[in-house]
Structures are given as structure tokens and as C-alpha cells.
A and B are shown apart, each in its own frame.
Chain A
Amino acid sequence: MKGRARTRSSRRFGDVALSLGTGLAAALVLLIVVVILGDVIYNGAPHMTLTFLTQAPRDGMTAGGIFPAIFGTVALVVLMTLAVLPAGVATAIYLSEYANPGSRLTRLVRVAVNNLAGVPSIVFGLFGLGFFVQFVGAGIDRALYGGQRVFGQPALIWAALTMAVLTLPVVIVATEEALAAVPRELRLASAALGASRLQTIARVVLPQALPGILTGAILAISRGAGEVAPILFTGVAYFLPKLPRSLHDQFMQLGYHVYVLSTQSPDVDATRPILYATVLVLLLLTFALNATAVVVRSHMRRRFAGASS
């Protein structure tokens, strides 16, 4: 009796300790988020004015706004999306709809995709410099511009393509999952009505998988909006008086601008509110993209409600 009572009380102690420990861990996470957000909002919000959002930096970045960085970030992300979506969705369609699942090529592509996801982002930056800027860009210059430097230097297009390579695994994996979730009965129903494989994919599978694909796209976009390392060598600029006007121009970007503001300012006190507000803009942009992903997905789910029941 005594022994049993002790086990019971020690078990109860274990339960209490565990719930307390896990609860503390959860509270800590919450606390960290609150502190970060609170600090950024408290210090950044007062400076987030219309002028700040619509003007270029002035006086060695101790005054003015961050419009070129916002513009550059949006341009980068849009171009990246245009590149990564077709390539990623096409790869996923091939892997899940056409490739023989056991074949060596399929396995190889899958291993490549998984490894791509694990490569540190600075390596992508170096790859972009070596491949896009110095190989593809310089090649275009030799072929079309008689060796004059046009594309053979860091530029918006190369930064966007480098970022596209970085986010490719996100899109591929999300699309593959979305395609795999389309019930086999729907494919069979389509085939039994005399649809070719292409027709089945285009009219039944892809519309069904669209929410998942869009989720992947937006995750890729929000990752692309926040990454800095891949664009360091491939196109981002410290400061530009003008907005980029063509694909081979350099650009400013929010993440890099945060780094520049925090390390290169001649007057730290004058820059601090600008820095906070810039971080806030970057966070809001990323959160907004993630929130869009959630809303789009749930909206689409509702539209297709009961599809798999």
C-alpha cells in the first residue's frame, strides 16, 4: 500500500512538473515574440509616416524614408514569383503525375530538391554571382552587347532568379503535397469519361490543388521577402538615388537596408527611429503575406468544401 501510494504521488509530481515545464516553455516563446514585436512597434510605429513610406533616404540615411527599398523588395519578389512558380509547379507536376515513382531519375530529382532546401542561403548568393552574373549575364553581354557590360553585373533580374532557386523547394514540396491530396477517384472519374492525362490534370487536378499551390507560393514569397544573403552579391545596392528602371539595374531592399542602417550610419541616434520603422515595415510585409496565405487557403477550402468526402 505504501509503495503504491508513493508511485502515485511521484507520478502526480511528474505530471505537475511536466505541465509546468512545458507551460513555461510555451510562455517563454510567447514572451519572446511579444518582446520583439512590442519593441519594434513601440519604437517604430511613431516614425511610420506617409513621408517615410514614400520618400528616399536623405542625409546619409539619417533622414527621409525607405520607398526605394520597399519598391525594390516588391519588384524582387514579383520577379522571383514569376520565375519560381512555373518552374516549381511544373517540376511537381512531373514528379507526381508523370514520373515513374520508382525510377532512378525521379529519386534523383527528389534528393536534389531536398538538398536544395538544406543549402545555406549565402551559398545561393555565391552561386548566383558565379552562375547568373558571371556566366549567364556575361554571356548575354558577349553575345548581344559586344562585350559591353549590361547584364554581366549584379542586377535585379539575377537577384530575383537566385532567390527563385532558393525558394524552388518550397514551391515544389507544397505543390506535390497539394497534388497528392487530390482524390484518386476524381482522376479515375475523369479518365473514365475519356479525358487525356493532360485534360485530367488541367481541369480536375490543378483546380483542386490550387489552394495548396498558392499556399506554397506565398510561403516562398514571404521567405523571399525576408532573405538577404542570396542578393548580397547578385544585385542589391547600398544606396541608390533612383528606382530601378530595367531588369539589369541594381535595387535597394528592405532586409539589406536594415543591415545598412544598423551598421553603416554616421549618426546612430538619428538613424535609430528609421531603423525601427524599417524593421516594422519588413515584419508587416512578411506577416501580411503569411496571413494572405492562410486566408486564401481557407477560402479555397470552403469553395471546395466536401470535395474529398
Chain B
Amino acid sequence: MNGDANTDAAKISLSVCDLVVCYGDKRALGPVSMEIAEKHVTALIGPSGCGKSTFLRSLNRMNDLVLGCRVEGDVRLDGQPIYGPGVDPVEVRRRVGMVFQKSNPFPKTIFDNVAYGLRIGGMRDRAEIAGRVEHALGRAALWNEVKDRMGESAMGLSGGQQQRLCIARALAVEPEVLLMDEPASALDPIATAHIEELIHELARDYTVVIVTHNMQQAARVSDYTAFFYMGDMVEFASTDTIFTHPSQPRTEDYVTGRFG
């Protein structure tokens, strides 16, 4: 329950206060409070069912789409409450992008995939869309591989390329925060290394929150790490602290591989 990790140096992007998520009558998470630093990578680790994905999904109101899911507490993005009255979840999701565990490109062309968010946002100017698509693909380190096949179906890309396409698609709408739910768990080691490298790069411009099962990955890519267990956040600190001298015994047991 230690919510004050050493994030003083960085500006706060997302501030979560007493967040509780229930599925029906069952409490799945919380109460959790934490502050997520802007333009840093925050990793959420913990065993399956610990609530880390639920927590992630409550940061862009994707939990609203789950039938019977209830969210209490306060989440603020740049100081504005995202669960406040009159806040449109659609608007929140434009500012907080998301990449899923399983790559899920639309069965459209590569170009149309990346342009999707721009077009639904009302962008019509073709040159502008093309520019943004190229930029986003560049940011996702995919441009060189696909620049000559923009009109081909995205389904023809490899698994790792598809996942980078999904990242590009999320980046195209220029969100402030990028949520990643085990983005590399379905990929081979080389594709995983690509994604991890990319996450590092992205943290220069975006706030990244990543859920991962892989502790080495958390240690490699993140600046801060939160350990979740049984629906509670056990400890939240800089990644160094969590992996070298955690204050909670359960955290230590988990990161040293004694359970989980």
C-alpha cells in the first residue's frame, strides 16, 4: 500500500486515488492509490489474477465495456478526473491509448489500420493522414519494413510486426499515455527484444504503463514497478528498489522467484 514511490522528480501524468474495481459482487482490485510519472515506463507485475490488468484497463475506461464491472475511486489524467460526471469514455481513450496482449490488427490494409484512429477522429485531409501514418509507423520501428506494402493486408505481417503495427495504430492518434497489456507475451525472443527496445524509445515522448508476467522484462524496460497481489498493490517503487531491496517480504518472494 505504499503509494509514494520516488516519483517527485517527474511530473505526474496519471494519479489514481482509492481505485476499487468490482465484477458483479466480487472485488477484483483495490483500493489502490498510485501516481504514474510522465514520460517514464511504469511496470505492473504480479501473478495471474492479481488485478494488474484490471488496473490497467481502468486507466482508459476499457472496463466500462465489461458487463457487470463497477469502478469506484478517482483517476486523474493531468489533473482532470476521467471518471467524473460528463466525461466521455471515448474521449479518454483517445488520450490514453492501449496495446493488447494478442496483436489485433483490423483485417484491413496496413495503411488503413494505422489511419483508423485518425479517420474516426474526423481527420479527412489525405496528405495529413499519410504523414501521420508514416510518422507513427516510424515511431513503432516498422516503417522500413512496410513502406512498400502499405496497401497489403495487415494480416500478412508476422506476429511481431503485427504487434508493432498495433503500437503504431495507437500512436497515430497521439495519445499522452500508452497502456500495454503484456505486449510481448505472444512473441518470440527476437520480436520481444524489438518491442522492449521500442518501449524504451517511446518513453521519451509518452507515459508508458506496461503489464508484464516477465520480471526480467519489467527490470529491463521500466523505471518504476508496482507489485500486485490478490487484488492489492503490495509495493510501488523505483524498479531498482523493487528488484534489489524491496520493503515488503511478499515482493521479495515474488521477484526472487519463490512463488508465482
Q: Which residues of A pack against B, CB within 8 Å?
A: 183, 185-196, 199, 203-204, 208, 304-307, 309
Contact = CB atoms under 8 A, between A and B. Distances in A.
Contact of A305 (B116, B155, B169): B155
A183 B106 CA distance: 10
A192 B166 CA distance: 11
A185 B120 contact: no
B98 interface: yes
B104 A186 contact: yes
Given A186-B106, A305-B155, A194 B120 contact: yes
Contact of B62 (A183, A185, A192, A307): A192
Nearest to A199: B120
Interface in B151-166: 153, 155-156, 166
Contacts of B102: 185
Interface of B: 60, 62, 65, 90-91, 93-94, 97-98, 100, 102, 104-107, 116-117, 119-121, 153, 155-156, 166, 169-170, 173
Contact of A306 (B107, B119, B169, B173): B107
A196 B65 CA distance: 12
B65 A191 contact: yes
A304 B156 CA distance: 11
Contact of A189 (B91, B94, B100): B100
The winner among A190, A192, A203 for most chain B CB atoms within 10 A is A192
Nearest to B179: A192
B98 A192 contact: yes
A183 B65 CA distance: 15
Nearest to A208: B107
B84 to A, nearest CB: 18
Given A185-B102, A188-B100, A208-B107, A193 B173 contact: yes
Chain B at the A interface: mostly helix, strand, loop or mixed? helix
A36 B57 CA distance: 61
Given A186-B104, A186-B106, A304-B107, A193 B116 contact: yes
A203 B97 contact: no
Contacts of A306: 107, 153, 155-156
A255 B90 CA distance: 53
B107 A190 contact: no
A194 B155 contact: no
The winner among A195, A199, A204 for most chain B CB atoms within 10 A is A195
Given A203-B116, A307-B155, 4 more contacts: A185-B104, A188-B100, A193-B93, A193-B116
List 6 A-B pairs, minimum CB-CB distance, nearest first: A194-B94, A307-B107, A185-B104, A193-B117, A192-B98, A306-B155
6 contacts: A189-B105, A192-B62, A192-B98, A193-B117, A193-B169, A195-B117
A188 B65 contact: yes
B155 A193 contact: no
A194 B121 contact: yes
Nearest to B108: A207
A188 B91 contact: no
A193 B97 CA distance: 6
Contacts of A190: 106, 116, 120
The winner among B97, B98, B106, B170 for most chain A CB atoms within 10 A is B106
Given A185-B104, A203-B120, A193 B65 contact: no
A307 B156 CA distance: 10
B104 A196 contact: no
A195 B62 contact: no
A185 B102 CA distance: 8
Nearest to B89: A191
A192 B177 CA distance: 12
Contacts of A188: 62, 65, 100, 104
Contacts of B169: 189, 193
A199 B120 CA distance: 7
Contacts of A305: 153, 155
A309 B106 CA distance: 11
Given A194-B120, A194-B121, A195-B120, A204 B106 contact: yes
Nearest to A192: B98
Contacts of A193: 93-94, 97, 116-117, 120, 169-170, 173
B9 to A, nearest CB: 30
A190 B100 CA distance: 12
A192 B97 contact: yes
B150 to A, nearest CB: 18
Contact of A194 (B93, B100, B104, B166): B93
Contacts of A309: 155
A192 B65 CA distance: 10
A180 B157 CA distance: 25
A183 B170 contact: no
A190 B155 CA distance: 16
Contacts of B91: 194
